[in-house]
Amino acid sequence: MVAVLFAASSLLLLLPGSHAFVHPVMQSSAVVTSTTSLSALPEFNPFLLADGLSAATRYGGSGFDNDVFADPAVTSALSTLRTFFIVLTAAAFGLTALAYITAAFIVPKAAEQLENDTKRLRPGLWEEYEAKLEDNQTMANRPDLLQELGNIMQPIITAEYERQAEEKFGPKAGAKKEDGGVIDVEVEDK
């Protein structure tokens, strides 16, 4: 068995164009520079994403004599895979940022507006829902209570908005589509 492996490896070494082993690039020791890099390793740049896939896509032109990475199809596939993971990571960070912005800014503003509308249109209802809160909680921290109160107040707020529109623009402006009412608009030329 050992003899067969030895014969196969010897045959691979003798075949022209076989690349069973990677030979290091010989450099002259007479020239010493302050920055040296190994030609087998990709250059390190802290501003780039240096992962295994990006390093693998750069091996084709970095002195490696390897037929696998020299194939454009493999390099293209690795580049596509790297792009996919970058987009996936960006989407994850984007969703995290959106969730943070929603929780930190939008929900407290919505709770504040709902508080103002509830106290104005249904006095006492806001205090009733605040009584359901535990110590050190606000309505912004309890989205279930905020949603429940919002569902109660939505038709009341909509009716108030329509009433104000009728007062300001007349009964025709407050007409509903179900009633067959049509809002006419006249454009005046200046």
113 vs 103, 146, 153, 166, CA distance in Å?
A: 15, 11, 11, 23
H helix runs in the chain, sequence order: 2-14, 52-58, 67-70, 72-101, 107-121, 125-131, 143-169
CB 174 within 8 A of CB 162: yes
Here the tokens at position 189 are 């030329």
Q: What is the mean pLDDT of residues 67-96?
A: 86
Q: How far apart are CA 49 and CA 104, in angstroms?
A: 30
Is the pTM above the cut of 0.75?
A: no
- Residue 185: pLDDT over 70: no
Question: Is the confidence at residue 20, as pLDDT, over 50?
Answer: no
Distance (Å, whole) CA 5 – CA 13: 12
Of 32-36, 69-73, 84-88, 151-155, the one with minimum mean pLDDT is: 32-36
Residue that wins the pLDDT comparison between 92 and 34: 92
Grade residue 117 by pLDDT with cuts at 50, 70 and 90: very high
Which H, E and C letters describe 11-37, residue by residue?
HHHHCCCCCCCCCCCCCCCCCCCCCCC
Residue 6 pLDDT > 80: no
Average pLDDT over residues 134-154: 92
| Nearest C-alpha neighbor of 52 from the set 41, 63, 38 | 41
Which tokens go with 78? 């690795």
The fraction of the chain above a pLDDT of 70, given in percent, is 54
